[in-house]
């Protein structure tokens, strides 16, 4: 990621933060629509899960300016996800639901550069997590 992309991700995320809970509702609705098979991996009540996801995203987005600072936590998160039943092939699906959600939340702010920056950020994070948890990166789409 270029420093400009890091800035675009941070600035656009700041615009979604005030509606974090609605964004999380949109995200999981979208995820369960495009990948209904993962619904049973999650608890019936998603309240706490939504909060955890947005809190973690905030930490990651903030940490993009100093990637090494978040890698240990990202590695541990990836390892926990193996026990949740997450598979490498789920990561692009989650990424697609995330980018879709940001597009809805940002409206006009969802420019091509912002989209590219988020794709790079999610690609970096998910590639690292997959490598940590499964020992191999998933080929880029
Ligand atoms: C970069 C991508 C992802 C991020 C940032 C993320 C974030 C989180 C966070 C913060 C939690 C709360 C529990 C914890 O911290 O261990 C969680 C739980 C969970 N995630 Fe993810 N996740 C990602 C990718 C995925 C993928 C690809 C799947 C596959 C379907 C998945 C499925 C789950 C499930 C099933 C739970 C546990 C629900 C429960 O039993 O409480 N996540 N995730």
pLDDT digit string, tens, across residues 1-41: 999 999 999 999 999 999 999 999 999 999 999 999 999 99
Ligand 1 pocket, CB under 6 A: 38, 41-43, 49, 52-53, 56, 77, 80-81, 84, 86, 90-91, 94, 125-126, 129
Query: Atom 1 of ligand 1 has which residue's CA nearest to it?
Result: 126
Taking the model in full, what pTM does it have?
0.94
Query: Atom 10 of ligand 1 has which residue's CA nearest to it?
Result: 53
Could you tell me the sign of the dihedral formed by the alpha carbons of 89, 74, 55, 61, in that order?
negative
Q: Give the model's confidence band at 138: pLDDT under 50 very low, under 70 low, under 90 confident, else very high.
A: low
Does 141 have pLDDT greater than 50? no
The whole-number pLDDT of residue 113 equals 98
Backbone torsions φ then ψ of 38, nearest 5 degrees: -90, -5
Cα-to-centroid distance, 12 and ligand 1 (Å)? 22
Number of the ligand 1 atom closest to the C-alpha atom of 129? 1
- Give the pLDDT confidence of 72-130 residue by residue, as tens digits: 999 999 999 999 999 999 999 999 999 999 999 999 999 999 999 999 999 999 999 99
- Label residue 44 exposed, middle or buried (CB < 10 Å: 0-12, 13-18, 19+): exposed
């Amino acid at each position: 990621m270029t420093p400009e992309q890091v800035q675009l991700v941070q600035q656009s995320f700041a615009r979604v933060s005030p509606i974090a809970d609605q964004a999380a509702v949109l995200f999981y609705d979208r995820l369960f629509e495009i990948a209904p098979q993962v619904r049973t991996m999650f608890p019936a009540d998603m309240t706490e899960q939504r909060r955890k996801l947005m809190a973690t995203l905030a930490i990651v987005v903030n940490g993009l300016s100093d990637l090494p600072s978040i890698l240990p936590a990202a590695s541990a998160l990836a390892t926990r996800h193996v026990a949740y039943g997450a598979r490498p092939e789920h990561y692009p699906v989650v990424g697609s639901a995330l980018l879709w959600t940001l597009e809805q939340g940002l409206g006009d702010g969802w420019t091509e550069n912002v989209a590219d920056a988020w794709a790079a950020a999610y690609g970096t994070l998910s590639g690292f997590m997959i490598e940590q948890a499964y020992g191999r990166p998933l080929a880029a789409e």
